[in-house]
Amino acid sequence: MPSQELDQESAAWVRELGGTGSAREAAASRLHALLVRVARAECARRRTSLPERGRDEVDHLAMQAANDALMAILRKLPEFRGAARFTTWACKFVIFEVSTRIRRHAWRERRIEPDESVWDALPDAAPTALTTIATVELMTALQRAVREELTERQRQVFQAAAMDEVPIDVLAERLGSSRGAIYKILHDARSKLRRALIAAGHGEAMA
């Protein structure tokens, strides 16, 4: 988008970051400082999500998030279209990076293993992936399908990713696999469960 179509401040950011030499370096340095401040504030807001040991690493986590966010912003600079102010657009990158790292820290020392008790909590506080499951009958049918239709590996991945909300990259690392392989297992498991629920008379219960 031509600079004149952006607000003055956003246009300056795009022009300087997209340039060369000392002007670009100075703009990148200013942006990095902003990202660090936002990252630290976001870490502080999410501090309770970190295990006790992880709280000592918050500043390092914030710096890593800011570094990676800056690299992503510079790569995607041509995609900026001015729908929001440049700094608002840029800060979304660092907030995403912080969120990803905090989730990884939260699971770093937790074990990933089957736990039948998770079913007891679903009717009252269902994770996002299961928000369509609203009745006891459907819950019972889903639990039976998980037990009878899925392989052991599929059950492990489905429970961890869809029910316990373990980050995919953490799950892949723990299982000695790749993100793509985990997504494939999860996709196959969901397909099996969808067919089983339809066969049991529950319609398109799973998206």
The CATH number linked to 12 is 1.10.1740
Helices (H), 46-178: 58-76, 86-108, 118-121, 136-149, 152-158, 168-174
Q: Given 108, 126, 143, which residue is the final one in a domain? A: 108
Based on the domain organization, do 78 and 42 belong to the same domain? yes
Based on the domain organization, do 92 and 166 belong to the same domain? no
Token code pair at residue 128:
């996002």
Predicted pLDDT at 7: 81
For residue 205, being part of any structural domain is answered with no
Q: Given 57, 85, 108, which residue is the final one in a domain? A: 108
Domain hosting residue 192, numbered range: 118-199
One pLDDT digit (tens) per residue for the chain, 207 residues: 444 467 888 999 999 999 989 999 999 999 999 999 999 888 888 766 665 555 557 788 889 899 999 999 999 999 998 888 899 999 999 998 888 887 776 665 555 555 555 445 444 444 444 444 445 567 777 888 888 888 888 888 888 877 667 777 777 887 888 888 988 988 898 888 888 888 877 655 444
The dihedral through the CA atoms of 37, 43, 46, 48 has a sign that is negative
Q: How many domains does the chain have?
A: 2
Based on the domain organization, do 99 and 38 belong to the same domain? yes
Predicted pLDDT at 107: 64
The residue with tokens 């060369």 is: 20
For residue 204, being part of any structural domain is answered with no
Based on the domain organization, do 83 and 168 belong to the same domain? no
Cα-based angle 207, 172, 54 (whole degrees, multiple of 5): 105
For residue 184, being part of any structural domain is answered with yes
> The domain spanning residue 173 has which CATH number?
1.10.10.10
The residue with tokens 């001015």 is: 82
- Helix pair 86-108, 21-45: axis angle to 10 deg: 50
